[in-house]
Chains A and B, each alone.
Chain A
Amino acid sequence: MSEHANNHDDHGHHHKETFVTKYIFSQDHKMISKQYLITGLFMGIIGIAMSLLFRMQLAWPDHQFTVYEIFLGKWAEGGVMDPNIYLALVTIHGTIMVFFVLTAGLSGTFSNLLIPLQIGARDMASGFLNMVSYWLFFLSSVIMLLSLFVEAGPANAGWTIYPPLSALPQAIPGSGTGMTLWLVSMAIFIASSLLGSLNYIVTVLNLRTKGMSMTRLPLTIWSFFVTAIIGVVSFPVLLSAALMLIMDRSFGTSFFLSDIYIAGEVLHNQGGSPVLFEHLFWFLGHPEVYIVILPAMGLVSEIMATNARKPIFGYRAMIASIISIAFLSTIVWGHHMFVTGMNPFLGSVFTFTTLLIAIPSAVKAFNWITTLWKGNLKMNTGMLFSIGFVSTFISGGLTGLVLGDSALDINVHDTMFVVAHFHLVMGISALYGLFAGVYHWFPKMFEGRMLNKKLGYIHFWITAIGAYGVFFPMHFIGMAGLPRRYYTNSNFPYFDDLMDINVVITWFAFFAAAGQLVFLYNFIHSMFFGKVGPKNPWNATTLEWTAEVKHIHGNWDGPIPEVHRWPYDYSKMNKDDSDYVIAGQDFVPQDHPIQDNEEELTH
């Protein structure tokens, strides 16, 4: 290993980094991770801003707001939002948040940053593919944003883009050029995601340092690894769905279209089925929510153990549940389709598999809670977000029992109840995971600089109150029967009494969004002026904190450290229980050999 390391260092001296190779077309995983994060955050700002606009429309449908006209131009003349642009905002908000922020921004950032550093590798298996992966992601982001400016408006058939609505410009204006750009952007995004995932898998399998067996990997790495696998399994299916949709739209095929009469004429398409598209879409779509949540789970497990000064409870059970969640995630897609006309027997099968997935999820939740039990909790901001994650994951996950049960799903399917459910369980929870990760590993990204903790506390509490304030009441309007994607609920009287709730939700949304400005300020300010903390600020055991604070290509100046133990030796006592294994220090880093005075665990 060390021989290899020396070669690497020599190699490093040969070429000088230019601005372009260092900051733009960088092949260094640390820089690529920052590129992912900043692109993801930028997209996040746009996604959240869109949600504020449509929340205003929902709360005060009768009012005219100049702010609509400023941002939406011709689609909001006189301050009245056009129903089509409302649908576009909802669609693009969903697309951006799910794919660009929570897939690329979360998994892209932390897989890139942590995989090489935590397994003890100089870089990703292929730095070049890694770079290509980021730039494809960047390109797809640009195309998605460009689609906002086309003549007939961006895609507005919902983020699930079910045909025929998404296939026929006669049905909705956004299904013209806007949808074409959406599909092109997503196709490039999928290519980017596949390149990234393959790289993560190969790196984890091949580049672990000496002693780093699979059962000594931190849970972060386990979750990134398994996430990458489900990405590779399911994203190609979405690509095929997207390609078939492109063919239906532009080349006259009938994969998803049949017997359609629209705008006064019968279309020639016959024999296709929109239900096929739904199957293909959700074959990715459901694993996708686990692609979003698993990395967050990994980050939270790691941060929670470190800050609780305790090993994560049930390390093996955690790995087993990650794997079983990943496996089950690929056979539950049909629970999005109970009332689509799919065979009811299939509905029964999917109910069964869906409720099964609650078991590993429950195990995880209990294990996190037990990790806190009898801990010595360091309330760093990362820890707060981790606890917040478990809270929203439980609240949001429990309502999944309603939605996953085909009989109960009948009446809440596609209502605001669903919106409340998935925002809590995968939206807010994954965002908490992202924030926890950013607060925790900021020093690793920005050469020792730390985020301001007070601003961090303010950010957390505003977000925590705001998130529950938005999504708790939303369950009620869903249970009242209000369908989602309604431009206004006051067009006929039955839902008039939900107006007050909508107003409260919107105020909480503004409150929560204001909290994100605190984070944004903290992020940008600390990037340049943050206080430089110690090399291992959180007293963590994992390898990334043994790497150089200053970013160098190859991560470790000398040889790569060798691993001798699992990553969770926090507060481990010596044999006679008189002191910690290392006297006066409540953690034993992974590269520390097993001591004479300690009992060796099976790890």
Chain B
Amino acid sequence: MTAFLVVLVIILFGVAVWQMNKVFQLSKPNQSEDSELATNDDNNTQGYLMLGFVFFIYGLLAYCFWKWGNVLLPEAASEHGLEIDQLMLITMALIFFTGIFTQWLLHYFAFVYRGDKDKKALFYAENHKLEFIWTIIPVVVLAALIIYGLFTWSDIMTVDEDDDPIIVELYAYQFAWRARYAGADNTLGEANVRLIEGVNQLGVDMSDPNAQDDKVVNELHLPIGKKVLFKMRSQDVLHSAFMPHFRLQMNCVPGMITQFAMTPNKTTEEMRLNEVIVAKVEHINELRTKKNIDLIANGDEALEMYEFDYLLLCNKICGSNHFNMQMKIVVESEEEYNAWLAQQATLVETLKK
């Protein structure tokens, strides 16, 4: 694969040099004129190259989709994520349409109207009607996008407490995550970094009655179809809780509690069967198998085969191990979730140990 790509780049370089050479040759006869000014031949060659370039852009776009379309994120695994995906699709369609159209106009005009000493340009300074049209079209299209976007945004960000969401705290520190479940009362105990001591790594105030049944864990489990309200805290610097599959992101800010609510709609098991994920995992394992051949030959430990899991990533530069600050997320049925949660020790139990 790498070799193929290297070859591809070398070929592209070759093509570029060849084209340049053509430019050289075509512009040679006119060297006696003002040689640093574009001649008729230059205009011609460069005009054709401009036309070629727009096809290069289209080709690159097509190639990227054909080759790497499979790395993109699968369908959203949360309810609000589906709305975002829908809006994204519409926006992308608009972007592609406008992009392809305007790039074509730009490069095609550069080609068609390439200079010629016998040609005259048209003195065309203004046309209020035209300018009005291409002001009003973006205005209308953007107004629609803005309104759609704002409704989606306020849907996502407005948390209705009546839905009785499960409250979970996401706690970020250099360079890992912890989650704190609120326990039976579904209310988190007060916490502050000033209270961090020994096993009480999150600085939970143990004198707060709400804190007694809180559970601190290092793997996030969520029941499918239930609304979860994440309360984010950070211990040291800015972090960002990013769950790409759920279309969820919120910064964790020291001295402040931020929040984001979502309802997962696909269990980990279901997602593992999603065709995009199946293809992705297959591809990744292919790559890993290939790597393992070298690793084993060198007497190193082989890489494990990969199985899909949802991830919580840190998405705000936070220090040297930023690239590895992650936590596994498991979405499961409510029974499995309850069973798992029951096994976890409460803070009181942990502190007693």
Contact = CB atoms under 8 A, between A and B. Distances in A.
A356 B143 CA distance: 9
Contact of A260 (B27, B235, B247): B235
Nearest to A310: B121
B145 A157 contact: no
A499 B286 CA distance: 13
Interface string A395-420: 10011011001111011011100000
B238 A164 contact: yes
A507 B251 CA distance: 34
A165 B238 contact: yes
Interface string B62-92: 0010001111110000000101100110011
Interface in A301-321: 308-317
Chain A: number of interface residues, binned into ranges: 35 or more
B109 interface: yes
Contact of A491 (B46, B240, B308, B324): B324
A341 B46 CA distance: 50
Interface of A: 82-84, 87, 157-158, 162-165, 168, 171-172, 257-262, 266, 270-275, 308-317, 339-341, 344, 347-348, 351-352, 355-356, 358-359, 362-363, 365-370, 372-380, 383-384, 387, 390-391, 394-395, 398-399, 401-402, 405-408, 410-411, 413-415, 450-454, 457-458, 461-462, 464-465, 468-469, 472-473, 475-477, 479-481, 483, 485-489, 491-494, 496-501, 503-504, 507-508, 511, 530-531, 533-534, 537-538, 568, 570-573, 586, 601
Contacts of A413: 240, 249, 315
A596 B6 CA distance: 64
16 contacts: A258-B256, A261-B196, A311-B124, A314-B125, A341-B232, A341-B253, A373-B122, A378-B37, A387-B110, A391-B103, A401-B145, A405-B87, A405-B146, A476-B69, A479-B72, A493-B303
Interface in B8-65: 8-9, 12-13, 16, 19-20, 23-24, 27, 34-38, 42-43, 45-47, 49-50, 53, 56-57, 60-61, 64
A373 B194 contact: no
B37 A537 contact: yes
B8 to A, nearest CB: 8
Determine chain B's interface SS by DSSP, over half rule. Answer: helix
A310 B113 CA distance: 12
B302 interface: no
Most buried by B among A365, A401, A534, A568: A401
A573 B120 CA distance: 10
Contact of B320 (A83, A356, A496): A83
B156 to A, nearest CB: 6
Nearest to B305: A493
Contact of B47 (A377, A487, A500): A377
Given A162-B238, A457-B23, A461-B16, 10 more contacts: A164-B238, A274-B254, A314-B125, A363-B134, A363-B138, A401-B95, A407-B87, A472-B64, A500-B2, A571-B123
Nearest to B21: A458
B37 A339 contact: no
Given A351-B146, A479-B72, A260 B236 contact: yes
Contact of B105 (A308, A369, A405): A369
